[in-house]
Amino acid sequence: MANERQRRLMQQALDEQLAPDEQAELRRHLDSSVRDAQAYQRLQEVDATLRTAPHERAPHRLAATIMARLAEMAERMDPRLSRISGLALAVGLALVGAVMIPIFVLAGWLLLTAIASGAGLVAAIERIVGLLAIMMGLAENMLHQLQAFLSAHPELLAIMIGLIPVSMFWLLWYAPRKRASDAVS
């Protein structure tokens, strides 16, 4: 299988952007690898087909027509579904914010404690940036998994949204009373 450099050379050769020494390198590689030579031949066939294909221009009003149809579909859409999806987005953003706030507090504390020395500040900033990158990756991964899960099981979205008022009621009503009764006994 061609490595990244060989694939790039193949693409540049198709675009006729190779220097003579790079052409020689690609030719040597293709002579030594039958599988890559076959792959390059298929790429050349696809490139030739695309270059000879007739080009059609889209009608000038295509974008306006598509946008008008999308607006018409949005008007016909059930407003409850729109509110539910908006609520789901708000809840998701609130959860991401709730997860990220402690991270930002920790990052701020690290930054303030490291200001005393330049080397410590640089090290703290590097750690903070690394930590934020990890958290953003985790949040993105979690969001993709949640989207895939909810698209496979759309009925669970309604259940999750139904649990929000119950959990808010519990947090506001039952939890403080439970702590108060535990403190008394």
Q: Can you give the pLDDT at residue 157?
A: 73
Angle between helix axes 155-169 and 118-152 (nearest 10 degrees) is 120
Q: Can you give the pLDDT at residue 144?
A: 84
Give, rounded to a whole angstrom, the gap between the first and last alpha carbons of the chain.
71
Residue 49 CA to residue 10 CA, distance in Å, equals 17
Q: Can you give the pLDDT at residue 45?
A: 86
Decide: 130 and 103 in contact? Cβ < 8 Å: no
Q: What is the pLDDT of residues 120-171, one digit of tens each?
A: 667 777 887 888 888 888 888 888 887 887 777 777 777 777 777 777 777 7
- In the chain, how long is the greatest CA-to-CA distance? 87
Confidence of residue 106 (pLDDT cuts 50, 70, 90): confident
Q: Can you give the pLDDT at residue 80?
A: 62
53: left (phi over 0), alpha (psi -120 to 50) or beta: beta
Helix (H, G, I), strand (E, B) or coil at 58: coil
Residue 170 is classified by DSSP as I
Q: Can you give the pLDDT at residue 178?
A: 65
